[in-house]
Structure 1
Amino acid sequence: MNYVQLETFLSVASTRNFNRSSEELCITQSAVSTRIRSLEKSLGVELFTRGRFGAELTSSGVKFQQYAINICEVWRQAQQELALPRGYEGILRLSTQFSIWDKFVNNWVIDMHEQYPNIALHLESDYSMSMMEQIVDNLLDIAVMYQPRVLLDIEIIKLFDDKFVLVSTQACNLETLDKEKYVYIGWCPNFHNAHASQVPFLKAKGVTMGLGTMAINYLKEKGGSMYIQAWRAKELLASEEFHLVKDAPSILQPVYAVYRKKAEDNELYDAAIKSLHSVAKKIGTGHSDI
Structure 2
Amino acid sequence: MDTELLRTFLEVKATRHFGRAADNLFITQAAVSARIKQLESYFGAPLFHRDRNNIQLTPEGERLVPHAESILVSLLRARQDFALREGGDLRLSVGIRQGLWCDTLQSCFDQLHDEIGDLKLHVETLSQEMIAKKLREGALDTALVFDTPAAPELESHRVGALHLRLFAHHSIKNLAEAVSTRYIYLQWGTAFSRFHVRQVAKEPFPYLQTNMVDAAIAQVKRQQGACFFPQALQSTLHEQGICRVPEAPEFDTPLNLLVHPYMRTSPVVHRLKHQLSNLSL
Q: Retained in 2: the 8 A contact 1:187–1:211? A: no
Residue matched to 1:20: none
Q: Which amino acid aligns with 1:248?
A: A
Q: 1:205/1:272 Cα in 2 relative to 1: closer, same or farther (>3 Å)?
A: closer
Could you tell me the percent identity over the aligned residues? 16
Displacement of 1:142? 0.6
Q: Is structure 2 residue 247 aligned with structure 1 residue 247? A: yes
Query: For 1:264 and 1:258, how far apart are their aligned partners in 2?
Result: 10
Residue matched to 1:100: 100
Q: Retained in 2: the 8 A contact 1:171–1:244? A: no
Q: Retained in 1: the 8 A contact 2:162–2:252? A: yes
Residue matched to 1:144: 144
Q: Retained in 2: the 8 A contact 1:174–1:245? A: yes
Deviation digits for residues 189-219 of structure 1 (CA, Å, limit 9, x no counterpart): 1211121122135713342222221111112
Q: Retained in 2: the 8 A contact 1:185–1:212? A: yes
Residue matched to 1:172: 173
Q: Which amino acid aligns with 1:198?
A: Q
Q: If you compute each CA radius of gyration, which structure gives the higher value, 1 or 2?
A: 1
Q: Which amino acid aligns with 2:205?
A: A
Q: Where do 5+ consecutive residues of structure 1 fail to align?
A: 1-73, 285-290
Query: For 2:257 and 2:145, how far apart are their aligned partners in 1?
Result: 7
Query: For 1:176 and 1:123, how far apart are their aligned partners in 2?
Result: 38
Query: For 2:157 and 2:144, how far apart are their aligned partners in 1?
Result: 10
Displacement of 1:244? 1.8
Deviation digits for residues 246-289 of structure 1 (CA, Å, limit 9, x no counterpart): 111111132211012237733332222112216x1xx35xxxxx
Deviation digits for residues 207-238 of structure 1 (CA, Å, limit 9, x no counterpart): 22222211111122211111111111332124
Q: Give 3-state SS (helix, strand or coil) of 1:163's partner.
A: strand
Q: Retained in 2: the 8 A contact 1:93–1:121? A: yes
Residue matched to 2:66: none
Residue matched to 2:56: none
Q: Which amino acid aligns with 1:232?
A: L
Deviation digits for residues 122-152 of structure 1 (CA, Å, limit 9, x no counterpart): 2221111101111111111110112122323
Deviation digits for residues 43-76 of structure 1 (CA, Å, limit 9, x no counterpart): xxxxxxxxxxxxxxxxxxxxxxxxxxxxxxx9xx
State the Cα RMSD in Å: 2.8
Deviation digits for residues 56-97 of structure 1 (CA, Å, limit 9, x no counterpart): xxxxxxxxxxxxxxxxxx9xx89x859945x52x21111112
Displacement of 1:174? 2.5
Query: For 2:121 and 2:234, how far apart are their aligned partners in 1?
Result: 29
Alignment of 1:232-243 (within 5 A): 232-239=233-240, 241-243=241-243
Instruction: Out of 202-211 and 180-189, give the one that drifted further.
Output: 202-211
Q: Which amino acid aligns with 2:112?
A: M
Q: TM-score, normalised by structure 1?
A: 0.62
Q: Give 3-state SS (helix, strand or coil) of 1:162's partner.
A: strand
Q: Which amino acid aligns with 2:246?
A: K
Query: For 1:158 and 1:136, how far apart are their aligned partners in 2?
Result: 19
Query: For 1:115 and 1:82, how far apart are their aligned partners in 2?
Result: 16
Query: For 1:114 and 1:176, how far apart are their aligned partners in 2?
Result: 46
Instruction: Out of 156-165 and 258-267, give the one that drifted further.
Output: 258-267
Q: Is structure 2 residue 219 aligned with structure 1 residue 215? A: no
Q: 1:223/1:262 Cα in 2 relative to 1: closer, same or farther (>3 Å)?
A: same
Residue matched to 2:33: none
Q: Retained in 1: the 8 A contact 2:161–2:254? A: yes
Q: Retained in 1: the 8 A contact 2:141–2:263? A: no
Aligned length: 203
Q: Where do 5+ consecutive residues of structure 2 fail to align?
A: 1-75
Query: For 1:234 and 1:193, how far apart are their aligned partners in 2?
Result: 28
Q: Which amino acid aligns with 2:201?
A: P
Displacement of 1:184? 1.2
Deviation digits for residues 87-124 of structure 1 (CA, Å, limit 9, x no counterpart): 52x21111112211233442222221222223322222
Query: For 1:236 and 1:154, how far apart are their aligned partners in 2?
Result: 35
Q: Retained in 2: the 8 A contact 1:96–1:126? A: yes
Q: Which amino acid aligns with 1:207?
A: L
